[in-house]
Amino acid sequence: MLPRAAPRLPGGRGAVMVAAMFTPLIVIPARYGSTRLPGKPLHPIAGMMMIERVWRLAKAVRGVDEVMVATDDVRIKDAVEKFGGKAVMTPEDCPNGTMRCLAAIEAMGVNPSHVMNMQGDAPVTPPWVVQAIVDGMRDDPEADIVTPAVVLEGAALQKFMDEKKVTPTSGTTVVCDLNGRALYFSKAVIPYPRGEARVLRHIGLYGYRTDALRKLGELPETPLEKTEKLEQLRALENRMPIKVVEVDYRGRNHASVDSPEDVARVEEILAAQGELV
């Protein structure tokens, strides 16, 4: 069971951690509004609501104390509770999924050791990718943030670079130090690939130490974050350590849903590659 949040100390910057034990919480942000697909979390994907699919993926991860949907609409909350999940209401004006995760734990009044932000519009995210983040949070307690990346080499790297020529802002890469801590994230291909290159493509999933998540909620936007339009650079510019875990999708396709066309694509993936759970 997650520890309840400790009271805020006068003049303090956040809630005091009440337990040193590993008590991770997965939060799935699920906003109702979507320009191209209104009510997106409730949209059926191969006969099952997208939010239920993501919730089932999260529930397959070991060592997690709780899975919670954070939403701004009572229709989503009701739907989640109907299929047996838990949901919490958060403000409609949360600027992004990270801040909705923070709003969720504040609304719940709990103080987990770590919070994992799992994308509510990515219904084919392999559970073992999420598991790698949870394991990374447990194994590296000094990391403020844990996030995954996949290795691109050979034909996969060439394909990525060809895609960059068409859509330069698609895909993010990351470079790390010798201990797997992120040095920089960029929309450019880094390091510059010469000869037999090895590039890490970043996957936009994050696990946070809860005190680090609260700190991020207080920090203003930073210069490099504004330039690259990458929110994780706010953490790096404030010297918050980010652990990068290398993951393997094992031949599975990654896809998110933003439009009716994306729904069809995800259904094709499921038909060809099978269910994940």
Residues 118 and 151 in one domain: no
With bands split at pLDDT 50, 70 and 90, how would you rate the model's confidence at 9? very low
Residues 113 and 149 in one domain: no
Residues 38-72: tens digit of each pLDDT:
999 999 999 999 999 999 999 999 999 899 999 99
Structural domain ending residue among the three candidates 125, 160, 176: 125
Question: What average pLDDT score do residues 119-138 get?
Answer: 96
Domain annotation covers residue 268: no
Domain annotation covers residue 256: no
Please report, as a single letter, which amino acid is at residue 173: T
Which domain range does residue 102 map to? 21-125
What gap in Å lies between CA 67 and CA 55, rounded to an integer? 7
Domain annotation covers residue 35: yes
Domain annotation covers residue 171: yes
Tally of structural domains, the chain? 2
What are the start-end ranges of the E strands in the chain?
24-30, 44-45, 48-49, 66-71, 87-89, 114-117, 145-152, 173-176, 182-186, 199-202, 206-209, 242-246
Q: State the residue for tokens 């006068």.
A: 10
- We report the CATH number of the domain holding residue 51 as 3.90.550.10
Q: Answer yes or no: is pLDDT of 10 > 60.
A: no
| DSSP string over 131-190 | HHHHHHHHH-TT-SEEEEEEEE-HHHHHHHHHHHHH-TTSS-EEEE-TTSBEEEEESS-S
Residue 121 φ then ψ, to 5°: -110, 20
Domain annotation covers residue 275: no
Domain annotation covers residue 48: yes
Please report, as a single letter, which amino acid is at residue 36: R
Domain annotation covers residue 66: yes
Amino acid 5: pLDDT: 60
Tell me if the bond preceding 191 is cis, omega within 30° of 0: yes
Residues 168-207: tens digit of each pLDDT:
999 999 999 999 999 999 999 999 988 778 999 999 999 9
With bands split at pLDDT 50, 70 and 90, how would you rate the model's confidence at 4? low
